[in-house]
Structure 1
């Protein structure tokens, strides 16, 4: 059984493994959007506005900080393209998976990510345990934001019938807070890192069967 410290280390291990060269090796033709950074959550201006002339400050998205956990975090909505069985659909799905990973970091709610992941995804389990350990009692997490820089895929099927997408990203340091203040900090990665999402398509939806780390970045 993971200790609290082990789970927090697992968060960094899970989302700080790199291999920039692997992204270019994934396909002979690079993804046209490979360098476009993706925001994991909608901005406050993108959230629904209050019908009241003087909207309550509590209705506005507020990122986590040393002063407290994030507030009013919008749940990322899966884009329609991510529901299509195609290379473009797989790429959109992979981006959405990381959006939900960010949502878990901000809220402690990992259920949306599990809803699109397979039950045997070991990396998903490590991530889930790590996030949940960051929200024990009145604790919370800050930082941790993943920015997806590019996704690519050859869209070739493995013998198991899976298709793979390589995801290039950076991540902010993971900060763990409690009522008494900062508990611990884990390094993120300012140098682009790469992971592989293995997915299957069935009944009109993609599922991340596993998320495989490629190489540990320094």
Structure 2
């Protein structure tokens, strides 16, 4: 599902969280001049969980990956859906209520979203955000539409080159800025014909709001930094 949200966060809106300068710096790297190309090196399946931090198909650079299902990984193409996509596994660090834990959770969250794009399977992603996250809900709707009636997507894999957490030692949501790169996406109908117009590759900065509730992180809000 492409990142084309209407809900954005301007630097002025971010000032209350102390993020205006950080947003400007991150946008310089994400959107100034020609954006860096999406990472296309993830097409080769990993031989094991990424203890070394190597990326795997369908996952961001989260430092964690699931064991591939039986058979060789095959990305989606015009002939059919992706096959044997490794399922992202939440690292133990992402379960901690700490700055490092939140960063690990953010990378895992986007690994799950990338997996959704490749497979349409949201079972691991849906529990990670609340209904208050409007963009999350819009992404869910878009993902459902992309795989409805045996449709599928080609491309759309996500990488997360940069995460900066602004940790506050106080109860309530924590804030981070995240650089998110997503491959271009092609859409196919069940009979293999082209679906709606393809989405271009994107390189965006996001404001990411999460709270530690019920012994785990939940995304409370999300938006592109405009």
TM-score (norm 1): 0.73
| Aligned-partner Cα distance in 1 for 2:192–2:105 | 39
Q: Offset at 1:198?
A: 0.6
Please give the per-residue CA displacement for 1:49-86, whole angstroms capped at 9, x wherever unaligned.
89xxxxxxx62221111111011222100011111111
| Aligned-partner Cα distance in 2 for 1:131–1:193 | 19
Please give the root-mean-square deviation of Cα atoms over the aligned residues, in Å.
3.4
Please give the per-residue CA displacement for 1:73-116, whole angstroms capped at 9, x wherever unaligned.
22100011111111111111011110010010011112321111
Give the corresponding residue for 1:147.
Answer: 159
Please give the per-residue CA displacement for 1:136-182, whole angstroms capped at 9, x wherever unaligned.
21210111111111100121278x81101111121111210122332
3-state DSSP of counterpart to 2:210: strand
Q: Which moved more, 1:202-211 or 1:40-49?
A: 40-49
Which residue of 70, 87, 96 corresponds with 2:108?
96
The count of aligned residue pairs is 187
Give the corresponding residue for 2:211.
Answer: 200
Matched ranges for 1:71-86 at <5 A: 71-86=83-98
| Aligned-partner Cα distance in 2 for 1:125–1:40 | 27
Q: Which runs of 5+ in 1 are unaligned?
A: 1-7, 31-36, 51-57
TM-score (norm 2): 0.71
| Aligned-partner Cα distance in 2 for 1:89–1:200 | 12
Give the corresponding residue for 1:12.
Answer: 3
| Aligned-partner Cα distance in 1 for 2:173–2:123 | 23
Give the corresponding residue for 1:33.
Answer: none
Q: Offset at 1:41?
A: 9.0
